[in-house]
Each structure stands twice: as structure tokens, then as C-alpha cells.
Structure 1
Amino acid sequence: MSFKDLKLNKPILRAVAEAGYENPTLVQEKTIPLVLAKKDIVVSAQTGTGKTAAFALPILQLLFDKQDASKRGKKIRALVVSPTRELALQIEENFKTYSTYTNLRSTVIFGGTSIEPQIDVLKKGIDILIATPGRLLDLHKQDIVNLDYIETLVLDEADLMLDMGFIDDVKKIERLCPADKQTLLFSATIPFKVEQLANTILKLPERVEVSPNSSTSKNVNQVLYYVPKRNKIELCLHLLRNTIKGSILIFRRTKFGVDKLEQTLLKNGYKVETIHGDKAQNLRQESLKKFKNGYVNILIATDVAARGIDIDELDAVINFDLPNVPETYVHRIGRTARAGNSGTSYSFCSADEKPYVASIQKLINLQIDVDDTHPYPLDPKAKKETHRTPGKSKHKKGRKSEASKKKKKRWY
């Protein structure tokens, strides 16, 4: 099938061809006709399957007739809600690319950055708005954003949106839009919470499922290392020196962990950048840019910051900390081996993370190869490692009778 078969008009087809795309991906093939038919849909597809274009192209087509309103006369007719700033920026980039030969205007708004320039663009009039929930509600409260004319509402990465605690915001945004709008819900996985949300806000939705949620790319070579928690940094350095080359994305569970690993790698002469939630938006973009342009070859990130960032040509993913949600593992390793390339994922498992491996293997229906030839093997009998809080005595406090506690005179 080609994009022409999807009944898209010439200006959009021209932009798609210039962006280098000849044939639609499976998710685009299934989704675009449904969106053009004004149906509500629930789409389950991993990142990297081309789902942004699956809603961007038909939305541009549906709005094409209204493109010539004067700038001031433009009303926001399509709204895309995205959980993270990186994802919102990427969606906006896609809309800009595909709308090159139309007069449709889009913009992106998100928190963590100055609100004034965003207000200026909105006041000039736009057709398509991409937004993160917090900033959107903020600007709506200030009467800068009017959602009364929304024809299509897109909720992207719905599972992540709910994991991040945006459920009430999402419901509020949905209520602020007209009742007769079309709603498109995209989610990598469809857990119960997402199912519930879909049932409450969508009207007889059509369902599109592309590849089972558990599928990991056949092109990813997955390797597992059992290692004591205290030796993970040594193992990481060992592999970087001897085994892992090229552009590498390292996942850690916490912002603190990201910063700590960054310090160690910098001390050892590696070029490193980081992204996590506490980093200002412009710094996050700067880090991503340096990594994409090859100025540094290692990027350390937390899951929320890395979800949805598009990096082609990624050679390896290191799971420094294993995720406790098995689907997250699939997302992480799906960052490599995209668009037909191959890649490798290296996962470090300490004694307390063994249950995570079990649930990951159950989900992906695959036994991950274990490499036990490294210098820091984990004792197979090792149970969870105990950590003593610094400054706390390991000795029990002296016993005192209740009576002696009561007798004590207070000086205050």
C-alpha cells in the first residue's frame, strides 16, 4: 500500500514524500482511514511504529478545508495532549513537517519554560495545539486557550499519562472540549486504567492493535548480567571499555542515580549527557541534541524523560537498574534496533531485582541470554542485599521499662 491509497491530498503527500516516507507503516495503514471516517479509536502500538503520523496526517487532511481562515480568525480545532515535553516537541516537529504545503498552523505548549512566548503565538491564532496537561489547563484558566471549537482530541501515550498521575487533568481537558468531538487514544499498552478511561470518554471506539504489547524487536540481541548492586558501576565501566561501543542509552531508576553515574563516567573520561525530570527543559533539549549529533555518545536517562524520544542509529541500551514494570523494559530496549537496524540491550540484575527478570521474561515470552563470564558475578544464593542507613547504629537501643520512661522529668 502507498500513501496515495489512503486518500490523502496532494500537498500532504508531497510533504510526506519529501520527508522520505514512501509506504505507510502498519499502524498508519489501519488508523488513517478510521480517523478520516471521523471514528473514535483506541490504538495500541509501541513507540517507533510511526503512530504520530497515524494521527497527524489525517488531522491535517480533515482541517485542510478550514486552512485559509485569516490568522486572527483561526480557532484551535485539533488538540494533542502529551505526557512529556520531549514527546510534545517531537509531535509538533511532525506536524510542521507534514503541513509544509498547507496554511495550517500548529504550536506546542509545555511547562518548565517561559509562558509569555507561548501566549504570543496562541494570540496570533492557530489550528492545531500540542500540549502537556499542566500548562494547557493553566493557559485555559487564563482564558488564553479556547477549547470550544475542538473537532479532534488526541491523547497520546495514555498509559504513561496515567502513570504520571494526570488522570484528573485528562478528564478535565476532555470535559472542556465539545461533546461531539472525535477522540483518538493512543497507548503502548492497554492496562485496566487505560481501558477504564477509554470506556468513559470514547464513543463506540474502533480498536487498532499493532503487534502484541509484549513483542520485542527480533533485531535486538538481549543479554543479562547477574551482578551485586555494589559492583554495577564497575561492570558498566568494564563493558564500556571492552564490549559496548557506539551510541549508548543508559537507564537508571532515579534522578539521583542518573547524576551519580554521570559523575563516575565523566571522571573516567567518557563524554556523557543526562536527561531527567529535574533538569530544566532547555538543558534537556541541549543534552538530547548533543547526543543526536554525536558530540557525546552516552546518554543517561530516567524512564519518564526517555519515553518517546526519537533517536535513530542507537547501538545499545543498558538497563543499569531493571524496571519493576515489565512493559517498561520493552519500551527501553525498543529504543535500539529501530527502522530495520540491529542493536543490543545489556541488563544488570542484582539479587533484589530477580523477580523483575521473571516478570519481564514472562511478558516477552523469551528466556534472556545470561552472560556469566564477567568479573563481578553474583553469588547464586544471594538474597536481597541489606543496606544499613549511614549514621544509624546496628545495635539495638537499650531497653527501658515503661515505668522509667514515665518517671523521667522533662525540663521543658
Structure 2
Amino acid sequence: MSFSMFTLCDPLLKAITELGYTQPTAIQEKAIPSILSGQDVIAAAQTGTGKTASFALPILQKLSAYQTGKERKLRGKRIRALILAPTRELAVQVEASISAYGKYVELSSMAIYGGVDSDEQKQRLIWGVDIVVATPGRLLDLAHQRALHFDELEVFVLDEADRMLDMGFIDDINKIIERLPVQRQNLLFSATISDDVRALARRAIHNDAIELAIKPDKATSAKIDQWLVTVDKGNKSALLSYLIKERQWQQALIFIETKHGAAKLVSQLEKRGIHAESIHSGRTQAVREQILTQFKAGKVKFLVATAIAARGIDINDLSRVVNYDLPDQPDDYIHRIGRTGRAGASGEAISFVAKDNFRNLCAIESRLGHIIERKAFDEFPVKKTVPVSILNYVPKHQRSN
């Protein structure tokens, strides 16, 4: 199947051809026709499966003069499509994709997020913007200042809905939904469709919605070589340095739990002659964006990131991710490893596992449906061994009485 089967206009097809898009991914194949037909959509799809294009392309098509037959003049401070994203980095990334897809379409777009002066954002909104990608907090702030209005909104998208709930945005989202016109198309994308996500969908979507799902294990792990190393906590940084040097790694995205841990690890790597950078909530937005740009360009080889700060990192040829700290939730693990092995390329996902990570490891392997390959290095003997997981192990707090 090719993108031309979606009856997208020639300017959109030209842009995505230049970007190297040939065949739609599974979520694109399912979502694009449904969105073009005007249906509300609830979709379960991981980052790395092409989900941004699955809603951006039909939105660009629907709002363009090629669909309507005439160019629509925007009123001041109005927007036609709103995409909510959980983080600044993701908002910037999604808007950049929309700009690239819409290169030859006469539509405007912008990203709205906190951490920067709002005056420039308000100035751009004065003339109206077709597509806005925004984080909830800054969007509400501008709405309260009457810097934008929603009365001409046609499409509303909740991107990474599960993450927005995890980050405590539910009150802001509800306030935003209350401001939107009833007559609109609603699209919700989430890595998983939990009960909380379904409850959010019921509030956001008034019409019957079509539900689409791409199995995460097939979508994110088919071309990813996953393996783990059992290691004592005190040896983690030394093991990471060893792997980088002995295996001659050229680039890696390294996930860590805290900003203090990120700064400490960068310092430890530097002492061993390995240049690394970190992104976390303690760094300014400008610095984070600069480091991300350098990492994508290959100027920064090793990037240590807290999970939230890493949202929005989208690199087609990222060869390796490292779970320096194993995540608590299986879906977080799947999302992290989905950063590599994209666009048909192969990737590698390495996890460092200490004895107190056993329960998390069991839950992850149960979610995957298989045991992750274990590797050991003689240079790093383990004092506290990690038992082999049991696939049907259920953490104590999840057990029924």
C-alpha cells in the first residue's frame, strides 16, 4: 500500500516523498482513512510507529484548500486544530513534523509551551494560526489572557494521553475541553488504553469513536536486540564506561530516574574520558533544546536523560538506548526501547538490573511475553544476584485478595 491510496493532495504527497516516506505504517494505514472520513478516533500506538503522521497528514489535508476547494481566511487569535502534548520537547517535535509535512500547503502552525517568554507566542497568535501544538499549562495561561479563542476549532488531538495523565494534567485538560466548541473532530492517541485513558476519552469525545490498536510488542521490539546485565548499583557507571569503550559505541540515549543522578553520571563518565551531556528539569529550555539538536546531529554522542525530559526525542537512526535505571512500569520500558529500531532500522536496548529491580523485571518480561537475554561480564562480578524472572509474576500491590 502506498500513501497515494489515501487520496492525499499532491503537495502533501510531494513533501512526504521528499522525507523518504514510501509505505504507511500499521497505525497510519488504519488511522488516516478514518480521520479523513471525519470519524473520532481513539488509537493505541507507541512513539516510533509513525503516529504523528497518522493524525498530522489528514489534519493538513482536511484544513487545506485542496480539501475545501477554497482558501479560508483566519480571524485574529483563532485556531483551527489543537494538538495537546505532555512536554515542551514533544510539542516542538510534533510541530516540526507538521511543518515538514505541510511544506507545500498554505497552512500555518506553531508550538506553544512554557519556560519561555510568552510575548512572542501571543504576537504570532494575533493573526490566527491554523494548527497549534501546545502543552496544557501554557495554553490555558494564554486562553485566560484572551490571547487565543477556540470558537473556530475544527479538530482536537490529545497526543500521548497516558503520559499527560501520569504527569498530572487532568485538571488542565478538563478546563481546556470545557472551552472547546461541541462540534469538532476528536482524536486521542495513547501508548496504552487504560481505564483512566478511557475515562478521559469519554470526557473529550461526545460521538461514537472508532478504536484502533497496534500491539506494542510487535510495533516496538521486532527489530530491537534486547539484553540485560545484572550489576550491583555501585558498579553501574563503571560498567557503562566499559561498554562504551570496549564495544566502541558511537551513540546512546541513556535513561536515568533523577536529575541529580543524571548530573552525577555525566561527571563520572567525563572522569573516564567519555564526553556526555544531560537533559532534565533542572536545565533551562534553551539549553535542553540546544543539547537535543546537537544529539540529533551527532555532535553529542552520549545523552543522559530523565524519562520526562527525553519525551520528544525522535531520531530515525538512533542505534542504542540504555536503561541505566530500570523503569517501574512495563509500558515505560516499551516506550523507551521504542526510541531505537525505527524506520525499518535495527536497534539495541540494554538494561542494567540490580537485585532490587527484580519485581520490575518480572512485570516487564510478563508484558513482553518472553525472557530478556542476560549477559555477564567477568570484569563486573555481582555480589547480589538477581533471580531468573517468572513470566506470570504479579507484583504484590497488584495482587487480588
Q: TM-score, normalised by structure 2?
A: 0.91
The amino acid of 2:353's aligned partner reads C
Identify the residue that residue 229 of structure 1 maps to in structure 2: 233
Aligned residues of 2:46 and 2:216 also touching (Cα < 8 A): no
| Deviation of the 1:293 alpha carbon | 1.3
Number of equivalent positions: 383
Aligned residues of 1:248 and 1:315 also touching (Cα < 8 A): yes
| Deviation of the 1:234 alpha carbon | 1.6
Aligned residues of 2:27 and 2:54 also touching (Cα < 8 A): yes
Does 1:144 pair with 2:147?
A: yes
Listed as ranges, the matches of 1:10-409 within 5 Å are 10-65=10-65, 68-70=71-73, 75-202=78-205, 203-212=207-216, 216-243=220-247, 245-380=249-384
Aligned residues with identical type, % of pairs = 45
In 2, Cα distance between the equivalents of 1:353 and 1:190? Answer: 25
In 1, Cα distance between the equivalents of 2:95 and 2:55? Answer: 12
Identify the residue that residue 9 of structure 1 maps to in structure 2: 9
Q: Which runs of 4+ in 1 moved over 2 A?
A: 65-75, 211-216, 372-383
Aligned residues of 2:233 and 2:354 also touching (Cα < 8 A): yes
Partner SS, residue 329 of structure 1:
helix
Gaps of 5+ in 1: 384-412
The amino acid of 2:305's aligned partner reads A
| Deviation of the 1:280 alpha carbon | 1.1
Identify the residue that residue 394 of structure 2 maps to in structure 1: none
In 2, Cα distance between the equivalents of 1:33 and 1:381? Answer: 51
RMSD: 1.8
Aligned residues of 2:230 and 2:353 also touching (Cα < 8 A): yes
Deviations 1:188-216 (A, max 9, x none): 11122111111232121101111246764
Aligned residues of 1:12 and 1:99 also touching (Cα < 8 A): yes
Greater CA drift, 26-35 or 367-376: 367-376
In 2, Cα distance between the equivalents of 1:228 and 1:298? Answer: 22
Aligned residues of 2:237 and 2:269 also touching (Cα < 8 A): no
Q: TM-score, normalised by structure 1?
A: 0.89
Q: Between Structure 1 and Structure 2, whose CA radius of gyration is higher? A: 1
Partner SS, residue 304 of structure 1:
coil
In 1, Cα distance between the equivalents of 2:247 and 2:9? Answer: 49
Gaps of 5+ in 2: 388-401
In 1, Cα distance between the equivalents of 2:169 and 2:312? Answer: 17
Rate the CA distance shift 1:54–1:381 in 2: closer, same or farther, 3 A.
closer
Deviations 1:237-265 (A, max 9, x none): 22122125111111101111111101111
Aligned residues of 2:225 and 2:348 also touching (Cα < 8 A): yes
Deviations 1:349-400 (A, max 9, x none): 11111111111100001111111234223235689xxxxxxxxxxxxxxxxx
Greater CA drift, 14-23 or 177-186: 14-23
Partner SS, residue 129 of structure 2:
coil
The amino acid of 1:109's aligned partner reads I
Deviations 1:54-76 (A, max 9, x none): 11111111111367344655831
Partner SS, residue 333 of structure 2:
helix
Rate the CA distance shift 1:102–1:91 in 2: closer, same or farther, 3 A.
same
